[in-house]
């Protein structure tokens, strides 16, 4: 029979063993449920909808005219060529695959750009990773200002990325809700009023979410103010070639800033949209230095930043992009395919506007074709967006942004008729 003292000791041990896990579980009890992602919520609602007419116009990924994901022919051929080479799976250097980053720099800045020899460039985990590396670099080394000024509105992830880098975030006026176009006067006024040397984020082309881009003449005015105020121009270029169908035209604003050499320029570059490498996560971040020596110093510090973030970037997508960019026939085929994708988007804009006008809509829909790129800011109100989902099984973000890639020749008339129904009164 157990003694009284031993029984007491065993009870204390048992109590201690059962209470320890409870205390450990309570460590995270104070953490609240985070808000759901807006785009994910749209996709989930779309999946639950059993109606045959349903449309998902929320996701920013290209679709064919049959509504299917598209792998570019040039990408398929590049994959086949790489597979035949039976390459290894070794680590890349910290700054990535040199053949890829070299070709990416040429694509962005122009093959004849005098800046190429002084561009510090690193491969990143697509455009988001480029923004994060860029934000971390500016937070550590750009002490002139520590606030990033975004256009209002801007891509939803911009603010979160820069805040998580330890930078402050503010806005300058950009979109004019009344005209559904660019509010150039207000934008220039705000850029002039910013503290000298501010970090100004600029969408190089195909502004997300509005699809509103400055004209070449308007870009000249923007550049003049940025230079006058000695701001740092942080270009985000996620749609080169995909906006107009011409990669050189889409990079014109970036190249004009660099050619003038009067404002510091950094660039976030993505190959998700224009090469369809969404899941491969292929991008670059680059800084235009004053000379080769400064380039090397910049690159040395970029390496120090990247090493504890993700050590080095993934290899497969970079190899694919490199094969496409450096193989002349594949590059030509790719540029042709990018133009075809851009032309399909432009064609769907025209078809949607035409059908709305045929229906006798009292509203002006010029902005549908005036805007460019994957997204269209329709001007629909949140309650109209809600009704599109409830009554017509059409899903988009509540700010009225439509992913034009989700429109096809088979559903464009239904979309136009549905929009007309929710806006005619």
Q: Among 213, 219, 273, 334, which one carries the catalytic annotation?
A: 273
28 catalytic per annotation: no
Assess contact for 288 and 264: CB atoms under 8 A: yes
Assess contact for 148 and 199: CB atoms under 8 A: yes
Q: Among 190, 236, 334, 365, which one carries the catalytic annotation?
A: 236
Give which of 170, 241, 249, 245 is closest to 214, Cα–Cα: 249
Give which of 157, 133, 158 is closest to 148, Cα–Cα: 158
139 Cβ contact partners less than 8 Å away, ≥ 6 residues apart? 146, 165, 166, 167
Strands 232-237 and 265-270, bridge-based pairing: parallel
- State both tokens at 220: 């000249």
- State both tokens at 228: 């006058």
Q: What is the DSSP letter of 205?
A: S
Q: Which residue has the tokens 């801007």?
A: 154
> Is the bond preceding residue 294 a cis peptide, omega within 30 degrees?
no
Q: Among 77, 155, 250, 365, which one carries the catalytic annotation?
A: 155
Give the angle 307-308-314 at the CA atoms, nearest 5°. 55
Q: Which residue has the tokens 């506007």?
A: 353
Catalytic residues: 155, 236, 273
């Amino acid at each position: 029979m157990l003694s009284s003292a031993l029984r007491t000791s065993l009870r204390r041990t048992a109590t201690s063993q059962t209470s320890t896990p409870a205390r450990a579980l309570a460590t995270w009890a104070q953490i609240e449920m985070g808000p759901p992602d807006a785009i994910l919520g749209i996709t989930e609602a779309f999946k639950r909808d059993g109606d045959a007419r349903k449309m998902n116009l929320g996701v920013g990924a290209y679709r064919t005219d049959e509504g299917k994901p598209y792998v570019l022919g040039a990408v398929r051929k590049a994959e086949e060529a790489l597979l035949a080479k039976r390459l290894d799976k070794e680590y890349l250097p910290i700054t990535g695959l040199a053949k890829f980053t070299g070709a990416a720099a040429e694509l962005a800045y122009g093959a004849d750009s005098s800046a190429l020899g002084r561009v510090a460039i690193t491969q990143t985990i697509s455009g988001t990773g480029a923004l994060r590396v860029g934000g971390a670099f500016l937070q550590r080394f750009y002490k002139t200002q520590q606030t990033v000024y975004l256009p209002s509105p801007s891509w939803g992830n911009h603010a979160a990325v820069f805040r998580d880098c330890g930078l402050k975030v503010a806005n300058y006026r950009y979109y004019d809700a009344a005209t559904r176009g660019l509010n150039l006067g207000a934008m220039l006024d705000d850029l002039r009023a910013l503290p000298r040397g501010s970090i100004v984020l600029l969408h190089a082309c195909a502004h997300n979410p509005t699809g509103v881009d400055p004209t070449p003449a308007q870009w000249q005015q923007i550049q003049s103010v940025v230079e006058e105020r000695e701001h740092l121009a942080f270009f985000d270029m996620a749609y080169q070639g995909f906006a107009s169908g011409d990669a050189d035209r889409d990079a014109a604003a970036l190249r004009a800033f660099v050619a003038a050499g009067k404002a510091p320029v950094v660039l976030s570059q993505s190959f998700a949209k224009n090469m369809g490498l969404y899941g491969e996560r292929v991008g670059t971040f680059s800084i235009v230095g004053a000379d080769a020596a400064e380039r090397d110093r910049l690159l040395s510090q970029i390496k120090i930043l990247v090493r504890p973030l993700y050590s080095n970037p993934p290899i497969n997508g970079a190899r694919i992009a490199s094969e496409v960019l450096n193989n002349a026939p594949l590059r030509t085929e790719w540029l042709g395919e990018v133009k075809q994708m851009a032309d399909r988007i432009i064609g769907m804009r025209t078809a949607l506007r035409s059908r709305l006008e045929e229906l006798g809509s009292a509203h002006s829909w010029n902005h549908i074709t005036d805007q460019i790129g994957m997204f269209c800011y329709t001007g629909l109100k949140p309650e109209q967006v809600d009704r599109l989902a409830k009554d017509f099984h059409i899903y988009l973000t509540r700010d009225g942004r439509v992913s034009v890639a989700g429109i096809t020749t088979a559903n464009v008339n239904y979309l136009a008729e549905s929009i007309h129904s929710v806006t005619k009164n």
